[in-house]
Amino acid sequence: MDIRLGVIGGTGVYQLAQLQQVQGIELETPYGKPSGPVRVGLLDGQQVAFLARHGEAHSVAPHRINYRANVHALHQLGVQRLLGINAVGGIGERMGPRVLAVPDQIIDYTHGRLASFCDVEGAKVEHVDFTHPYTPALRTALLRAGADIEVRLVDRGCYGATQGPRLETIAEIARMRRDGCDLVGMTGMPEAVLARELGIEYASLCLVANWAAGCGDAEEITMDEVMENMAAAIGVVPALLSALLRRLA
Ligand code: HPA
């Protein structure tokens, strides 16, 4: 199977309607089961593998996702380039609702997640380089794909990964802002580092669903607001994926 791109879809992205001749593949990994079947199909004539991070019925909370099984399953299929699509809250000025951003840095605030393939009795410990957590070449391809079809993507930003499933307090977001975070989400880690451990190129397309706590005018963050903004932001994803595949061809 010569898969050009793997895609892990987050909140609001449970399938790729563009995929043709789709095959659902149930995989087992040494780390357990992924969130659901990997859907492999053709997108503009190229093989793409898609996995819904939270399961196709959004039944797996961020802190309970088996990130290792998800990344390993795609690796087993031969995925060498992986795009994570992540719903996020906006902290930085440029990161208002419905913005699409391609972050270049990460701060990991999660805890207790199985965050390494070394985290197994007897496994050899490796300290992977993570200076640039997202693969520069894949980020660049994605940004160029956006430019090709005149979709505005915000280039760069620091993704702060929180534990969830609850949203953050105003004080937590204020701290994250002081730390330099522009975006906040619950699923960016350990996915990015697991891809790195397996030598898979990885980039993230962040869809801003809401101003993070205390950043906008809203007194609280409602799921209606999140879903409405996600639905609006998701609209360009199919065209962006096609453009990315043309860049990768
Ligand atoms: N915080 C964390 N994760 C999120 C948010 C948020 O405000 N919005 C969407 N995912």
Count other C-beta atoms under 10 Å from residue 132's C-beta.
12
Give the residue, out of 91, 169, 182, 186, with the most ligand 1 atoms within 8 A of its beta carbon, to mutate for a pocket test.
Answer: 186
pLDDT in the model for residue 121:
85
Nearest CA to ligand 1 atom 7: 89
Count other C-beta atoms under 10 Å from residue 249's C-beta.
9
Distances (CA, A) of 66 to 77, 114, 117, 147, 237: 17, 8, 12, 34, 25
To 5 degrees, how large is the angle CA 174–CA 223–CA 106?
40
Q: Is the pLDDT assigned to residue 88 strictly greater than 90?
A: yes
pLDDT in the model for residue 123:
86
* Residue (of 121, 150, 134) closest to 205 by Cα position: 134
Ligand 1 centre and the CA of 205: distance in Å?
Answer: 14
Q: Say what the pTM is.
A: 0.97
Does any ligand 1 atom lie closer than 6 A to the CB of residue 209?
Answer: yes
Does any ligand 1 atom lie closer than 6 A to the CB of residue 162?
Answer: yes
- Digit-coded pLDDT (tens) for 32-46: 999 999 999 999 999
pLDDT in the model for residue 120:
83
- For residue 122, is it left (φ>0), alpha (ψ between -120 and 50) or beta? left
Q: Give percent of the chain above pLDDT 90.
A: 94
Q: Are 158 and 106 in contact (CB under 8 A)?
A: yes
Q: Are 151 and 247 in contact (CB under 8 A)?
A: no
Q: Is the pLDDT assigned to residue 1 strictly greater than 80?
A: no
pLDDT in the model for residue 237:
96
Mean predicted lDDT score pLDDT of the chain: 96
pLDDT in the model for residue 246:
97
Q: Is the pLDDT assigned to residue 119 strictly greater than 90?
A: no
Ligand 1 centre and the CA of 71: distance in Å?
Answer: 22
Ligand 1 centre and the CA of 122: distance in Å?
Answer: 36
Q: Is the pLDDT assigned to residue 160 strictly greater than 80?
A: yes
* Residue (of 119, 115, 118, 117) closest to 106 by Cα position: 115
Ligand 1 centre and the CA of 94: distance in Å?
Answer: 16
Q: How, if at all, do strands 81-90 and 100-102 pair?
A: unpaired
Domains of the chain (ranges; CATH) run: 3-248 (3.40.50.1580)
